[in-house]
Structure formats: structure tokens, C-alpha cells
């Protein structure tokens, strides 16, 4: 058999093949930053501007495309139609696939319970926002139409109130924004994750939002928190209200607040029914966490837990053991499960295609400016239409005054195309007017029709004058906006679903009986690391693991029930409890306190106080020799505040902070070699935490306090030499026969 011939391409050398590819095999030097900039940045900007971040009308592009398609399909009226039909039509504007479009519709629907005021009326199973396992039915089974409130999105859209742009293939036009008549951006929650940024906007009660916007329009110096009480969620729940935190969110657009579930106790069945949960969790997550805690025996009062959600709504039932303290158990569940959860706010909104994190007042200001422009454009559009109509009627008026002449001109004109020019010449009107007159039906040439048209001219002139006055008056435009807001509030306003309860009152009543009172040893390091180790682990452990250059500064015997107070480099104090830290081992670094307790940026802890009661004193020794003595009772608060500002004086540089349970001697040495023994009883205590103290040890220029320690009697020979009756004092130089000093652990 003859050998097979190789194909030409196979026979060609590899170099010859590469010769057909331009630049093949060439190595190009390019900075990584340039590659990222040229390849990733356009994608990142597309995500930010065209996908994840909502605009001032309260919608992302996917929402807007879906709702506008439904509007064009006439779904503001009539009955529902198949969701698959709507999804298919929406793909003319949104090319991202039917699944993504249907998911958008589901979230906007009434049946999903994700929004306070849904824009899509639904029929069929659309799943539930509060359940992970309750999924929506396929689009071919469900039906939808626009909800009544959706007409507030489109009421002016045909009056040139907003700009329109081409869709992705330039075959249709779509609105850039919706001319919404109320601040939708605040009424319905909105979340999105873009490249390098995110948005998380909680929902507010529509009546409160409208009232706040009206109040702002009338007086822009208002305190938003007076009328916009707190966020409101479709799932209800109870919001733990802290005025300071809410005002911070309203001012900066960032922050968080806690929402917890609502329960009832059925005494006859000895069970708890949970009917409302936080918006950031699901019923399955709560059940799974409770089951886990029961298995770990951290909760022993529960016999069974099950999901009894039905057509009436959410319901999680917990069967209890006999004799269970319900209130105590619920406080455990709030603390240990997602039944109480935080909602993190990040009010990031696109303004003129640029993302901005704004406070509530700034958002309202931007919306009012946007709405003013919509109203102005609507009035201008109607003004032009009215002027066009008036122009036609003015031409008709001239002809109606002499109908016989008009008829004669028409009858004596030989060619049809000459009718309009002859009317223009005969009555001194323009082509548009003459064309309009020429189209008048013969039946309309009667006295009644003529008188009505003349009345229309008079009415139009009044309307045009009024619209021109409106365009020249910002106050009148604002009145129109206020009137529209009042109408929306009256028509669609509902009572709050999320109850507001005092966070301080709840913290005050926090039950500590279930806190483990077992002994632990606490370790605190120079760099601000904290370890809590049980006696059993401590006996089995070896050398303590520390960060390079770090060292242990405090070792304290404590229990899980005691409180902690950390003083920081920013003269602040942060409260916590021992049981808030997990048990550690010697082989780990421990918890970094600044991160654990959410310190301010650049702030670190410098001293730890372990408290079973607020007895004793804090001693603050400053480098210039001054000492401040503050009773621990000054740090006690009626509520469980986590952060205490002005915990000590920032006027002078702090050298040492010490907690003493009772009066004692302090040995202070200076860089000049002198030493001074001072009894804390000789220092007057001041309840003001940031008091500057009194001068104790005098320091000359260039000198400062070198060491501070609790003094044990007998540690120094001739110790009377270092004591003095009068303060301040310079102290005495160390004698050659001084005994070895020892330092007492506090």
C-alpha cells in the first residue's frame, strides 16, 4: 500500500504557520495596572452604572425595563397575563436572559413579600422572601400585571418629563428614569453588589417618607428623625430604636440597627409561635441555628421546632419543656440566633451616573430637585401643546368671522392643492392654520360650534398665562409636588408594620442569669490582643503564642459573668463582657480587641479593667507628673452603652493607667533618677472622667515620669525618704542601700 500524503498544513513548518498570525510569538512588556485598567475598568463601570446601583427614581435598569414593558403592554388595567409572555416581551429591552428578568419580576411582586409597596400584582406561587426553600413557580404557570401604585411611575411619562434612549439594538426607545411622584428610593428596599462598591437601602413607611419630604420642601433645616421615625419592613419585626444610631444613618447614609422577630406564647399548648422575623434572614436559617444550639446543649428548654408556614403567613413553632421560662429562653434565642439580626445601611445611589453615598436629607434633596425638573418639563410640554392649539384656533377665529368668504374661496378654487394657499392669502394665516381650517367638516359650520371655539380660545389663553407663571415660580412648582405627595399619601399610605421599641430599655432588661459563671484566666498584651483561657486548657497548654515584639502586660483571674472595660489611645473606653469572647488557647494569638469591639480607625487598646462591680478607682498618671483619680462609678451607665467618650484627659500625654480596688501606695520614678511614694488616699477623686488631675511629682524641662508601680511596704530601705506631706514634690534620689524592688500584679 502506498504511503498516505500528508496534508499541506501538516507538512508546513510551525514557523510558517505562525507567520500568518500578526504578532504571533511576540512578547510585549505591559504593566499589570495598565492591563487591569484597560480590561477590567469598563466592566466594573458597566456593573456600577448599568446593573447594581439604583438611581434617584428608586430603580435599577432591570427593574425599569420590566416595568416599562408592562406599561407598554397595557397592564395598568385589565386582568393578569402569563408571566412568560411579559418576560419574553421584556427581552426586547433587557438582553440578559429570561431567568434574570423573571427573578426581577418575582422580587417586585406582591406575592413575594419583599417590598412594602410592590409594583407587580401577582397570581400564582411567587415564593417568599422570608423563606429559602419556598421557591417561585415557573413563569409559564404564574400571571402578573401592574399594581395600582405603579401608575405613580408613569403618570407623566408621555409628557416629555424624562429623557428616552435607544434600547440595546436601537429598535425601541426606553426611559432613562421614571418620573415618580413620591420618593420610591426610600419607600422600597434596594440592595446591590457592584465591583468595589455596594448599595444597601432599607425601606421606610410611605406616609412617613411623604410627610418628611413635604416638611423638607417647606423648611430644609428640619431634623429628619422627627418625622421619619425609623425603617419599616414588609416582614414586620421589632426595631431596637437608638436615636443616636438612627440620626447617624440619616446623616451619613451608613450605619446599622437591630431588628428582631415577634413571638406569642400559647400557654395551653406550651409552645412559642414566631410570626415575624428580621428582613436579613430566613425561617430555615433560624430553625437550623436553633437545632444546632440544642445539639450542642447550649439550649436545653426546647423539645421540638418546626416550620408551620401556610397561606396565612410565616409561622415557626417551638415546643417547650415543662417549666420553661419563656422570656429567658427568648432572650437566649435573640442573642444566639438570627432571630435578632443587624441591618447594615449603605445608601449608595447613582446621581448623574456617579455613585454617591448620601444621608436621607441629601437623598430627599436630590429627589425634590429631580421631581422639580419633571414637573417643569411637564408644564413646558403642556404649554407648547396649548400654544399650538391656540395658534390653530386663532386661525380658525379669523375664518369663522367670515364663513361665507371662506366657502367662496374654497368653491372658486379650481385645484385641491390650491385651497390652503388661497385661504392663507385670503385671511392672512399661515400654512398650519390654513391646513387645520381646510379640514373642518361642513357639519361644524354652525353657530354653536363657532361660539364654543371662541370660548376655547379664551380658556386656553388663561391656561397658557397660568403655566407661564408656574414655570417662572419655583414656589408654585413646589406646591404642585406637595399636592401630589399628599395625594399619594392619602391613596396608598399604610400603618407601620415594624414596631419601634427602645434599645436602651431592652439592654437594661437583658437577662444575665444564663451567663456561665465558670472561672477563666484573662491575658491582655501590649499590642491589644486578648485571650480567655479555661483552667483546664491552661493546665494543658504550653508557652503563650504572641505576635512578634508583643508581650503580656496583664494576667487576671476572672469569671465569664464579669464585665470588661478597655481604655484606648483615643481617650475612649469600650465596654464588653468576658462571655462575649470565645474560649481560646495558649497556641493562638487571641482576639484583636480593636477589631472585636469595632474601635475607631487607628485606635488601639492600652489597658484592660476586669470588673465584678464598679468599686474602686482608676488612676491616670501623666508624663508631666500629674495624676487623675476617677471613681469607677463614673464609668457605670444605666444602659449597656458600648462606647464611652472622654474616658480620661487628653490634655496631657498618658504614661500609665491603673485600676485599684482600694487605696494603696504608688511608687513613681522620674527620668532624673528621683523617686516618690504617694498614697492614693492623698489624691482627691473627681467624678469627671476627663479631669486633668493634680500635680504630684514636679518635672523639670526635658524630664518625665519613667515608671509607675504599686508599692509594697518594705521594698525600699528608708522608705520615709521618698514620702512627703506636701504635693507636688520632686522626690528623692535613690540611695545606694536600696533593697531590690518588686512589682505587684494588679
Q: Are residues 83 and 167 in the same domain?
A: yes
Angle at 644 between CA 643 and CA 645, to 5 degrees: 115
Q: Same domain for 310 and 391? A: no
Burial class (CB in 10 A: 0-12, 13-18, 19+), 504: middle
Q: Are residues 519 and 667 in the same domain?
A: yes
How many domains does the chain divide into?
A: 4
* Grid coordinates of 313: 403567613
What's the CATH code of the domain at 460? 1.10.268.10
517/485 same-domain check: no
Residue with cell 429559602: 132
In whole angstroms, what is the distance from residue 285 CA to residue 337 CA?
9
Q: Which residues pair with 95 in a beta bridge?
A: none
Q: Which of 321, 296, 323, 291 is nearest to 307 (CA)?
A: 291
Q: Could you tell me if 361 and 403 are in contact, meaning their C-beta atoms sit under 8 angstroms apart?
A: no
> Is 166 inside any structural domain?
yes
Among left, alpha and beta (phi > 0; psi -120 to 50; other), residue 25 is left
- The reported pLDDT for the residue numbered 22 is 67
In a shared domain, residues 587 and 444: no
Show which of 179, 212, 240 is a domain's final residue.
179
CATH number of the CATH domain containing 554: 2.120.10.90
> Which pLDDT does position 141 carry in this prediction?
96
- Which of 20, 68, 141, 614 is flagged as catalytic? 141
- Which residue range(s) make up the domain with 167? 59-179
Based on the domain organization, do 606 and 480 belong to the same domain?
no
Integer Cα distance of 529 and 523 in angstroms: 8
0.95 surpassed by pTM: no
CA distance 406 to 394: 15
CA atoms 435, 438, 440, 445: torsion sign: positive
The answer on 521 and 483 residing in a single domain is no
DSSP string, 678-717: EEGGGSPP-S-TT---EE-B---TT--EEEEEEPPTTSST
Query: Is 492 noted as a catalytic residue in this protein?
Result: no
Same domain, 459 and 553: no
Nearest to 253 by CA among 195, 177, 197, 182: 197
Could you report the average pLDDT of every consecutive run of 10 residues in the chain (746 residues)? 46 50 70 80 81 92 95 94 96 90 95 95 94 93 96 93 93 94 95 88 96 95 94 94 93 94 93 94 94 88 93 93 90 92 94 92 96 96 93 84 83 86 88 86 75 84 94 94 96 95 68 65 93 87 86 91 92 89 87 89 92 91 92 83 89 92 90 90 90 90 90 84 86 64 39
Residue 410: inside a domain, yes or no? Answer: yes
- Whether residue 459 sits in one domain with residue 399: yes
d(CA 340, CA 335): 7
Residue 168 grid coordinates: 440595546
List all residues 6 or more positions away from 84 whose beta carbon is below 8 Å from its beta carbon.
98, 138, 139, 140
Same domain as 650, residue 591 = yes
Do 656 and 609 lie in a common domain? yes
Quote the DSSP letter at residue 182.
S
Amino acid at each position: 500500500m502506498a504511503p498516505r500524503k500528508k496534508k499541506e498544513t501538516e507538512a508546513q513548518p510551525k514557523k510558517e504557520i505562525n507567520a500568518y498570525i500578526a504578532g504571533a510569538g511576540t512578547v510585549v512588556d505591559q504593566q499589570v495596572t495598565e492591563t487591569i485598567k484597560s480590561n477590567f475598568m469598563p466592566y466594573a463601570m458597566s456593573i456600577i452604572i448599568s446593573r447594581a446601583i439604583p438611581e434617584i427614581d428608586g430603580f435599577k435598569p432591570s427593574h425599569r425595563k420590566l416595568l416599562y414593558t408592562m406599561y407598554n403592554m397595557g397592564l395598568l388595567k385589565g386582568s393578569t397575563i402569563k408571566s412568560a409572555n411579559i418576560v419574553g416581551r421584556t427581552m426586547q429591552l433587557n438582553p440578559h436572559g429570561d431567568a434574570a428578568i423573571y427573578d426581577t419580576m418575582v422580587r417586585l411582586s406582591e406575592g413575594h413579600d419583599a417590598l412594602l409597596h410592590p409594583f407587580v400584582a401577582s397570581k400564582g406561587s411567587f415564593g417568599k422572601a422570608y423563606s429559602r426553600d419556598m421557591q417561585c413557580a415557573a413563569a409559564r404557570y404564574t400571571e402578573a400585571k401592574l399594581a395600582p401604585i405603579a401608575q405613580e411611575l408613569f403618570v407623566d411619562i408621555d409628557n416629555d418629563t424624562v429623557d428616552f434612549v435607544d434600547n440595546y439594538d436601537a429598535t425601541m426607545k426606553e426611559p432613562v428614569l421614571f418620573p415618580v411622584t413620591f420618593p420610591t428610593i426610600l419607600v422600597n428596599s434596594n440592595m446591590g453588589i457592584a465591583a468595589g462598591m455596594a448599595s444597601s437601602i432599607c425601606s421606610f413607611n410611605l406616609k412617613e417618607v411623604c410627610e418628611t419630604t413635604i416638611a423638607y420642601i417647606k423648611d430644609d433645616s428640619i431634623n429628619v428623625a422627627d418625622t421619619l421615625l425609623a425603617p419599616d419592613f414588609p416582614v414586620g419585626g421589632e426595631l431596637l430604636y437608638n436615636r443616636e444610631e438612627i440620626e447617624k444613618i440619616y446623616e451619613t447614609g451608613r450605619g446599622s440597627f437591630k431588628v428582631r422577630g415577634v413571638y406569642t406564647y400559647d400557654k395551653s399548648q406550651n409552645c412559642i409561635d414566631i410570626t415575624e422575623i428580621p428582613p436579613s434572614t430566613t425561617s430555615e436559617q433560624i430553625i437550623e441555628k436553633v437545632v444546632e444550639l440544642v445539639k450542642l446543649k447550649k439550649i436545653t428548654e426546647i423539645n421540638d421546632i418546626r416550620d408551620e408556614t401556610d397561606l396565612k403567613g410565616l409561622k415557626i413553632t417551638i415546643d417547650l419543656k415543662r417549666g420553661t421560662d419563656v422570656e429567658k429562653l427568648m432572650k437566649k434565642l435573640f442573642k444566639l440566633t438570627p432571630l435578632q439580626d443587624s441591618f447594615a445601611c449603605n445608601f449608595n445611589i447613582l446621581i448623574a451616573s456617579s455613585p454617591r453615598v448620601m444621608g436621607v436629607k441629601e437623598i430627599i434633596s436630590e429627589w425634590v430637585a429631580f421631581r422639580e425638573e419633571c414637573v417643569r418639563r411637564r408644564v413646558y410640554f403642556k404649554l407648547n401643546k396649548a400654544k399650538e392649539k391656540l395658534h390653530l384656533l386663532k386661525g380658525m377665529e379669523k375664518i369663522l368671522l367670515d364663513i361665507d368668504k371662506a366657502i367662496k374661496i374654497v368653491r372658486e378654487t379650481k385645484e385641491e392643492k390650491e385651497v390652503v394657499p388661497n385661504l392663507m392669502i385670503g385671511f392672512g394665516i399661515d400654512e398650519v392654520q390654513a391646513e387645520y381650517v381646510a379640514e373642518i367638516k361642513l357639519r361644524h359650520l354652525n353657530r354653536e360650534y363657532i361660539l364654543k371655539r371662541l370660548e376655547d380660545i379664551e380658556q386656553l389663553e388663561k391656561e397658557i398665562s397660568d403655566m407661564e407663571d408656574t414655570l417662572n415660580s419655583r414656589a408654585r412648582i413646589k406646591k404642585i409636588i406637595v399636592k401630589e405627595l399628599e395625594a399619594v399619601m392619602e391613596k396608598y399610605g399604610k400603618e407601620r408594620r415594624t414596631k419601634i421599641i427602645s434599645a436602651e430599655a431592652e439592654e437594661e432588661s437583658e437577662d444575665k442569669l444564663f451567663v456561665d459563671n465558670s472561672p477563666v484566666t484573662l491575658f491582655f498584651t501590649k499590642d491589644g490582643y486578648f485571650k480567655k483561657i479555661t483552667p483546664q486548657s491552661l493546665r494543658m497548654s504550653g508557652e503563650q503564642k504572641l505576635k512578634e515584639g508583643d508581650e503580656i502586660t496583664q494576667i487576671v483571674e476572672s469569671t465569664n459573668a464579669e464585665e470588661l472595660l478597655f481604655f484606648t489611645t483615643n481617650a475612649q473606653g469600650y465596654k464588653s463582657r468576658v462571655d462575649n469572647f470565645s474560649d481560646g488557647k495558649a497556641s493562638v494569638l487571641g482576639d484583636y480587641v480593636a477589631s472585636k469591639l469595632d474601635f475607631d480607625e487607628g485606635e488601639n487598646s492600652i489597658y484592660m479593667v476586669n470588673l465584678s462591680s464598679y468599686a474602686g478607682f482608676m488612676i491616670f498618671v501623666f508624663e508631666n507628673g500629674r495624676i487623675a483619680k476617677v471613681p469607677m462609678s463614673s464609668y457605670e451607665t444605666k444602659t449597656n452603652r458600648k462606647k464611652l467618650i472622654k474616658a480620661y484627659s487628653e490634655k496631657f500625654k498618658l504614661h500609665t493607667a491603673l485600676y485599684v480596688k482600694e487605696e494603696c501606695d504608688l511608687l513613681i520614678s522620674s527620668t532624673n533618677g528621683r523617686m516618690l511614694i504617694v498614697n492614693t488616699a492623698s489624691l482627691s477623686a473627681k467624678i469627671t472622667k476627663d479631669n486633668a488631675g493634680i500635680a504630684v511629682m514636679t518635672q523639670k524641662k526635658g524630664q518625665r515620669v519613667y515608671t509607675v508601680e504599686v508599692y509594697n511596704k518594705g521594698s525600699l530601705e528608708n522608705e520615709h525618704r521618698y514620702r512627703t506631706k506636701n504635693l507636688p514634690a520632686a522626690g528623692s534620689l535613690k540611695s545606694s542601700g536600696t533593697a531590690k524592688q518588686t512589682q505587684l500584679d494588679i
